[in-house]
Structure 1
Amino acid sequence: MRNSIILIVAIIFLSCDKKLPPVDPDIVSEKVQYDTDDPAIWVHPTDASKSIVFGTDKDTNGAIYAFDLKGKVIAGKTIRNIKYPNNIDVEYGFRINDSITVDVIVFTERERNRIRLFSVPDMKPLDNGGFQVFEEETDFELRRPMGISLYKDPVSKNIYAIVSRKSGPAHDYLHQYQFISDSTGIRTKLARKFGKFSEEKEIEAIAVDDELGFVYYSDEGVGIRKYYADPAKGNEELAVFGGEYFKDDIEGIAIAAKPNGEGVLIVSDQQKGQFNLFSRKENSFIRAVNLGTIATDGCDVVTIPLNTMFTEGLFVAMNEQRDFYFYNLEKLGL
């Protein structure tokens, strides 16, 4: 009975192609040079008003832009001359040695088949030029990285990058790499290969729930797939959900975490120009919201106050007009 009700709701939802009234952003960022794709929000440890929004500018001569909370480009923290940066994520407390930890951003550099690692906020490269991914593939097209999300193990404090690619096989589409720092420097180690793929479109958007220990990714033509983020817990697929609520491509995923496991997954319904919200606990559909963006690929969210404008947190979404939209989280009804 429950599945029948869900199906009926989905049919009604999809049959009404009329968009919801748009919610205006609080800030529209300055424009990048080529093509915005994916944002990541870094929260300053002592003064949240100095937090930074990073965003990829996707082109063969692209960049990682840094924006302040007014949407203005921070030129001194923008990384240029990146060969097609695609997706980006941020993590806190990467241990360099016994006495030093740093916050980091990691992003994919598609045309060089590698991922890059920089410390934040000093923007120092930590990767000696980058770490190769999908190295065992003999077909060059299967080596091009696209999506990325970071996972920090709550016990070991190890940090991993989960990476997708522009095209790949029906199984083991994603690879997970551990960042290792020792006396020889910083390197990556392949921790596992996992993840089913429908072979219908592609896999780009990935998001990790560090607290609950799950990784979600968008199999664009089918649904949102869910796995354990910890490689030690195995590669069994835990769920596939949500596909019936999207017009076409399922894209960017952001996890708005609240205490006691509450919160939502915010997922871009790209062609409809809306976002679908799913329960963080049950992964059930809650509702949709129109934030006025066009063809959103990537998004990110934090759920703590940052300044007098972003009093409940910040949601950032890519917009097709070469910019990013910033919203106080209360505008999403969260």
Structure 2
Amino acid sequence: MRVTRVLAVVLATGAVLSVAVAPASADLPGVRATYETASNYDDEEGGDADADDPAIWVNPARPGASVVLGTLKNGGLTVVDLKGRQLQHIATPDGGRFNNVDIVVGARIGGRKLDLAVVSDRGLDRLRIYAIDPRGAAAGAHVLTDITTATPPRVFSATEEEIEEQRTAYGVAVRPDPAGGAPWVVASRRHETRVGLFRLAADGTGRITYRAVDSVDLPATFAVDGGTWTPCAEPGERPQVEGMVVDGDVVYAAQEDVGIWRIPLRSGLGRPELVQRVREFGRPAVYDEATEECVFTGPESPSAGKHLSADAEGLTVAHTRFGKVLLASSQGDSTFAAFTPTRAGLAYRAGFTVADGVVDGVQHSDGAAVTTKPLGPDFPHGLLVVHDGENTPSDRADTNFKLVRWERVESVIR
């Protein structure tokens, strides 16, 4: 739920005055994408395809044959080459809705060593597991093979009937096992604050299942400015997490209307710590049923953050020449923020936009993925892939993914 992009000033009479606010992106440098994927149309003719979250698989033998995966919600899963051209399309199971995707390489499960893609199916509250062909783009329409167990367990719902409420598997991030065993999967629950930990396992038939290991519930109400504050949302919804990334023994989780949490991750989930807040943190707002949006009813809070506008979305970690950098999508103002992870939290480095160039720029981005490994002549220093929530020009609901040379990003955040 995005808060409307207005400043609401409470007058002495109790009335609410709304005035336009200049976007933060106006003061930030822009980088330009080199390629983009095809349009995805969120209508019946387009198969209700709505791009959301990307992941990058790096081909160690032929980096130029690396591939990008992208979830398309009801439209399934797409696999593209480094020019954004589709190689493979995977439809959802009946009733499925693919939300997020992450990749793990060299996973040892059931006596095999595999590179895997893990997808959250929020429509059915399951995880889907795909083996990645080591040929990468050279495998053409056979890059991914579904190796999910025949009867995958529900991720969060207690019954099949409960799935109809769609408080289901949402965000997803994968952690390789430090001891060389089966990977761990972190999944968030839609419209709830819960983050769960799961572990992949062989099912005895050559396919892969998973089991629940641990969970943690983030707060839904916060002590702010001498009182309490609950993020505004549609009635019955709680402040959910979607964007997540694993960095060693830590998972960073973006609670959309709150900020970024750092959660210790070993054989279980540790105590969460809020390390970055959105600009709207602590600001009173009410839900307007007529517009189906939240409207501010009070001033900004002194406790608010400075670098992210709700929703806080896609998170990804770049391993650069000057250390690790966490990139976060600031969906509310269509910008990206770069942070240096420190013991104290996240130190802000810089912000940027993906601006119009050879292809159009990026607005209201959800997911993001990055690698700083060389990927051939088009991406000699690495690749950043981001979701574009408003692909243009188009007269339909149109989304896709943009492919950006890493050195262009590095030049504005180093």
Q: Give TM-score, length-normalised by structure 2.
A: 0.70
2:275 counterpart residue number: 240
Structure 1 runs of 4+ off > 6 angstroms? none
Percentage identity across paired residues of the two chains:
26
1:151 Cα deviation after fit: 0.7
Which stretch of the first structure deviates more once superposed, 179-188 or 107-116?
A: 179-188
Count of residues in Structure 1 that have an aligned counterpart in Structure 2: 309
1:38-85, CA deviations, whole angstroms, 9 ceiling, x for partnerless residues?
Answer: 0000111211110010001122xx2100010011010xx321134211
Q: What is residue 332 of structure 1 aligned with on the other side?
A: 409
Could you tell me whether the CA contact under 8 Å between 2:110 and 2:201 is conserved in 1? no
Corresponding position of 2:84: 71
Give 1:88's aligned residue: 101
CA displacement at 1:229 relative to structure 2: 1.9
Q: 2:352 aligns with which of 275, 282, 289?
A: 289
- Counterparts of 2:340 and 2:147, CA distance in 1: 36
Deviation at 1:326, TM superposition (A): 0.6
How far 1:257 sits from its partner (Å)?
A: 2.1
3-state SS of 1:111 partner? coil
Structure-2 separation of matches of 1:197 and 1:15? 31
In 1: Cα distance, 2:76 partner to 2:23 partner? 39
**Alignment match of 1:315 (pick from 359, 384, 405):** 384
The one-letter amino acid paired with 1:124 is T
1:58-207 equivalence runs, <5 A: 58-59=73-74, 62-74=75-87, 77-82=88-93, 83-98=96-111, 100-121=112-133, 122-129=143-150, 130-136=152-158, 139-140=162-163, 141=165, 143-169=167-193, 173-181=194-202, 183=204, 185=206, 186-198=208-220, 200=231, 201-207=239-245
Deviation at 1:280, TM superposition (A): 2.7
* Cα distance between partner residues in 2 of 1:224 and 1:26: 29
Equivalent pair of 1:57/1:64 in contact (CA under 8 Å):
yes
Structure 1 residue 97: Cα displacement: 3.0
Contact 2:25 2:334 (8 Å CA) reproduced:
no
Q: 1:231 to 1:259 in 2, by over 3 A?
A: farther
SS of residue matched to 1:330: helix
CA-to-aligned-CA distance 1:225-252 (integer Å, 9 cap, x gap): 00112134x5212443243122221111
AA of the residue aligned to 1:115? L
Partner of 2:138: none
Match for residue 216 of structure 1? 252
Cα distance, 1:163 vs. partner? 0.7
Three-state SS of the structure 2 residue aligned to 1:163 is strand
Superposed CA RMSD in Å reads: 2.2
Q: Secondary structure at the match of 2:333?
A: coil
Question: Counterpart of 1:7?
Answer: none
Residues 6-41 of structure 1: per-residue CA shift (max 9 Å, x gap): xxxxxxxx9873522422111112223421100000
| Structure 2: runs of 5 or more not aligned | 1-20, 42-48, 134-142, 222-230, 232-238, 279-304, 356-361, 392-398
Task: Provide the C-alpha distance between the structure 1 equivalents of 2:132 and 2:86, rounded to a whole number of angstroms.
Answer: 16
Partner of 2:369: 300
**1:279 lines up with 2:315 in the alignment:** no
Residues 1:17 and 2:24 aligned together: yes
Greater gyration radius: 2
8 Å CA contact 2:109–2:181 kept in 1: the answer is no
> Which residue does 1:10 correspond to in 2?
none
Contact persistence 1:205–1:251 (CA under 8 A): yes
1:31 is aligned to 39
CA distance in 2: counterparts of 1:23 and 1:48, whole angstroms? 23
Distance in 1 (CA, whole Å) between partners of 2:325 and 2:277 is: 13
Give the aligned partner of residue 57 of structure 1.
Answer: 72
Which whole-Å deviations, capped at 9, do the CAs of 1:237-283 have from their partners, x for residues lacking one? 244324312222111101112479x2210000102111010103352
Letter in 1 for 2:242: E
Question: Are residues 118 and 330 of structure 1, via their aligned partners in 2, closer, same or farther at CA, if it must alter by over 3 Å?
Answer: same
